[in-house]
Amino acid sequence: MVDMGRTAPQTQSERRACGGFTLIELLVVIAIIAALLGILLPALGGVRKTAQAVKCSSNMRQVALGWATYANDNDDISIPGQMGRYSDESKNVYFVGNGYQYRPRWYVTMGAAAGFYALIEPRPEREYEHNVQVNNEVFLCPNAIDWTSTRNHPYGYNYHFLGNTRFKNDEEFGSFVNFPVRASVIHVGRTVLAADSMGTAAGKPAADRTPNLADGSRHPQLTAMGGHGYALDPPRMTPNSDHADPQYPGAEHRSAPDPRHLRKANVSFIDGSVSGWTLEELGYVVRGNGVVEAFDQTADNSMFSGSSIDRDPPPRRD
């Protein structure tokens, strides 16, 4: 007589039919998913980095357009890197389209001319020269989105050759290092306008560089990425030339492009083109430890000089 109250043990095929998994099957599925993630995550990371580089390129094209607009509206004068500091403080405050800013840097002045303002709240007081926050994403690199102060900025300008309004020798002599510069005489083919910048951390070994200080301050050892990043020094400098941080001149405090996009720096040129370049392709000399040399005579300034000729930057002092 059959005992109707008992059920015969299920076979493996019967358990599958009921939708169950054995422990071994579950482990195999988990292993397959892990393997797929291991394959897909690096690819997705690469896609994200490529998207950031493309967005950065788009920003820099607008920067080039802003540069041309400023020159067109200002008697063919190339935009200065930052206005010189006059002893008469009333001369150091400038209208920037949506307010007044103390000694605005190149991208703030550019935004005023082109109509895309860099700052939501410009400040005319001297204490806000360095730490006003940049709000417009056109002037912020998506791969360094927290580099937001007006001084420790992600995009550096070729100020040596395109417009340096720091005073030569001293204000009393009444002359600037290199200003005004006529935009129409600049060789448009391959003259650097601006680039992703690592600031004065470029003169230090890569292992010694520290994170950006978005409040506009300086690291005690001047090792922060993006420090004085708004100013881009050319490949070859001289002891007599200006430096991105004029208070701390010297080879160890030079500025240079930052190869933050797939090991290349996005570079905007006078003709409006934007492309990725290594530092060596731009003419810089880089040591094995990452230090970007300042005074190496083999460095080449021809892509920065505005004439396609390898020239030293203008001297700051006679």
- Within-domain flag for 227: yes
Secondary structure element (H or E) that encloses residue 274, with its range: strand 274-277
| Sequential pLDDT tens for the chain (318 residues) | 445 454 555 555 555 555 566 878 777 888 888 887 777 666 555 567 778 888 999 999 999 999 999 999 999 999 999 988 999 999 999 999 999 999 999 999 998 888 889 999 999 999 999 999 999 999 999 999 999 999 999 999 999 999 999 998 777 667 999 999 999 999 877 899 999 999 999 999 999 999 999 999 999 999 999 999 999 999 999 999 999 999 999 999 999 999 999 999 999 999 999 999 999 999 999 999 999 999 999 999 999 999 999 999 999 876
- Within-domain flag for 160: yes
- Within-domain flag for 5: no
Stated length of the chain:
318
Give the burial class of 148: count Cβ atoms within 10 A of its Cβ; 0-12 exposed, 13-18 middle, 19 or more buried: buried
Is 113 in a helix, a strand, or coil?
helix
Range of the domain at 200: 48-84+138-282
- Within-domain flag for 253: yes
- Within-domain flag for 18: no
Contact present, 198 and 212 (Cβ < 8 Å) = no
- Within-domain flag for 278: yes
- Within-domain flag for 61: yes
**Spatial separation of the C-alpha atoms in residues 213 and 219, rounded to whole Å:** 8
For every residue of 165-214, DSSP letters joined together read EEESS-GGG--EEE---BGGGS--SS-EEEEEEEEGGGGS-GGG-B---T
**Spatial separation of the C-alpha atoms in residues 205 and 283, rounded to whole Å:** 19
Number of domains comprising the chain: 1
- Within-domain flag for 1: no
Is 164 in a helix, a strand, or coil?
strand
pTM of the model: 0.85
